[in-house]
Amino acid sequence: MRLGVRREKKNLDRKVVGKIIAHARGNERVPLQTIILGTLYITGMLTTALIAPNAVQLFEYLDPISRKNTMRFNQRVTQALLRLERRGLIHIESEGRGRQVIITSKGEKIIDALYAESYVIPRPFRWDGKWRLVMFDVPEKRKKVRDTLRMLLRSAGFIYFQDSAWIQPYLCDELVTLLRSHLGSGKGEIRYLTASFADESDYTFRKHFDLIAI
């Protein structure tokens, strides 16, 4: 089986996905099924041909020992694809002598969840003095979404501000876009604002985020 990239789908580097998944698991060894999903997440589609494969370069975050036996590795790829299809995370279609492997929306949600749970907001060399607020208005019938959003904001470094508003000092457009996608929420449910304070609140937040000297 040979895997080849068909088209670019996500503006996210494969190495970034691999590192995020490894970080989320707490180690550098990542399950083959997760690596395949992560690869599909950014490429959209892979093709398989019924000839001797060389797919190892796609799976940089697999335990290197597992890649030494090419035949065994190929068998593992085939088994992983079948299991992913049974779980409804990928769809496999016949195409000539080979097959197309496409990630499903359910599969994308798995990677979105791993990415969101381990997302780290980039910290610039110099803070611009502005605060970033995420405010949400999620209906009661979607209480689970509200709870998940609070958990993800807290894990990304936000602190509670007031009502349904959370705050932190650094640019985080990418995280907000990811949260909206992962939780199935639009701009009306999750709002992203930039603010400045000229009162005691500014000092309180600076102290919390260790920005007093700036």
As a whole number, the mean pLDDT across the chain is 76
- Choose the final residue of a domain: 115, 132, 162: 115
- Choose the final residue of a domain: 60, 92, 115: 115
**Helix H segments across the chain?**
14-25, 32-43, 70-86, 105-117, 143-155, 173-183, 200-208
Residue 108 and residue 36 in one domain: yes
Q: Is the pLDDT of residue 122 over 70?
A: yes
- Choose the final residue of a domain: 68, 97, 115: 115
Residue 22 within a domain: yes
Residue 186 and residue 82 in one domain: no
Residue 130 and residue 196 in one domain: yes
Give the total number of structural domains in the chain.
2
Q: CA nearest 12: which of 151, 127, 153, 108? A: 108
Residue 17 — very low, low, confident or very high, per pLDDT cuts 50/70/90? low
Alpha carbon 170 to its chain centroid, in Å, reads: 19
Residue 20 and residue 95 in one domain: yes
Three-class DSSP category at 197: coil
Residue 77 within a domain: yes
Residue 214 within a domain: no
Residue 143 and residue 111 in one domain: no
* Domain encompassing residue 190: 124-208
Q: Is the pLDDT of residue 173 over 80?
A: yes
- What pairs with residue 160 in β-bridges? 166
Residue 162 and residue 195 in one domain: yes
Structure tokens at 209: 């985020």
Q: CA nearest 10: which of 86, 107, 83, 80? A: 107
Q: What is the pLDDT of residue 133?
A: 95
Q: What is the pLDDT of residue 157?
A: 92
Residue 145 within a domain: yes
Residue 141 and residue 91 in one domain: no
CATH number at residue 48: 1.10.10.10
Question: Quick check: 185 and 145 in contact, CB under 8 A?
Answer: yes
Residue 55 and residue 157 in one domain: no
Residue 26 and residue 88 in one domain: yes
Residue 202 within a domain: yes
Residue 8 and residue 26 in one domain: yes
- What pairs with residue 4 in β-bridges? 47
Three-class DSSP category at 126: coil
Structure tokens at 163: 């009502």
**Mean pLDDT, range 155-168, rounded to an integer:** 92
**Concatenated DSSP letters of 130-154:** -EEEEEE---GGGHHHHHHHHHHHH
Q: What is the pLDDT of residue 16?
A: 56
How many Å apart are CA 98 and CA 50, to the nearest integer? 6
Residue 167 — very low, low, confident or very high, per pLDDT cuts 50/70/90? very high
Q: CA nearest 18: which of 86, 107, 118, 88? A: 118
Question: Quick check: 202 and 141 in contact, CB under 8 A?
Answer: no
Residue 97 and residue 159 in one domain: no
CB atoms within 10 A of CB 39: 22
Residue 21 — very low, low, confident or very high, per pLDDT cuts 50/70/90? low
Condensed to tens digits (0 to 9), the pLDDT of residues 123-148 reads: 898 999 999 999 999 888 888 888 88
Q: Between vectors from CA 167 to CA 163 and to CA 169, what angle results, nearest 5°? A: 165
Residue 76 and residue 151 in one domain: no
